[in-house]
Structure 1
Amino acid sequence: MERKSLVVVFSILVLLLAAQEVVVKTEAKTCEKPSKYFSGGCVGTTGNTQCGYLCRRGEHLLSGACKGLKCVCTYAC
């Protein structure tokens, strides 16, 4: 009886380890484009916050950030 339980436990461990190896994480490639809705200069923390908000909510993209004086949105490509 004890040997059967060891075999079952060992089999479960092997299955768990095998399943863990099968899972492969892939990162989506991201691209950038200027925001369609952001107007004015992208300056300071407020500009960066507005830029991110407009990219996420207004344009339904991943994120946005100020690059120079322009608001640039990131999206999965």
Structure 2
Amino acid sequence: MERKSLVVVFSILILLLAAQEVVVKAEAQTCEKPSKFFKGPCFSETGDPRCDVRCRRDEGLLSGFCKGLKCVCTYAC
């Protein structure tokens, strides 16, 4: 009886670890590219709302942020 319980617990642990690995691989990666529509310098390191709006609304991408003085958009790769 004790051996069966150990086998069941071990099997459940293996299934949980395998399921976790599948979830990690399924997450989308994000890539970056300069905005095509943002004009002028992008100043805010914490996030310029104008940059984010341009990337989301005008370019249909995930988000936008300032990197250096440029607006950079993120998208799923």
2:4 maps to which residue?
Answer: none
Normalising by structure 2, report the TM-score: 0.64
Normalising by structure 1, report the TM-score: 0.64
Q: State the Cα distance separating 1:63 from its structure 2 match.
A: 0.5
Q: Which runs of 5+ in 1 are unaligned?
A: 1-16
> Aligned runs of 1:1-77 on 2, under 5 Å?
24-25=22-23, 26-44=26-44, 48-77=48-77
Q: State the Cα distance separating 1:44 from its structure 2 match.
A: 3.1
Considering only aligned residues, what root-mean-square deviation do their CA atoms show, in Å? 2.3
Count of paired positions: 59
SS in 2 for 1:44: coil
Q: State the Cα distance separating 1:43 from its structure 2 match.
A: 1.3
Aligned sequence identity (%): 61
Q: Which runs of 5+ in 2 are unaligned?
A: 1-11
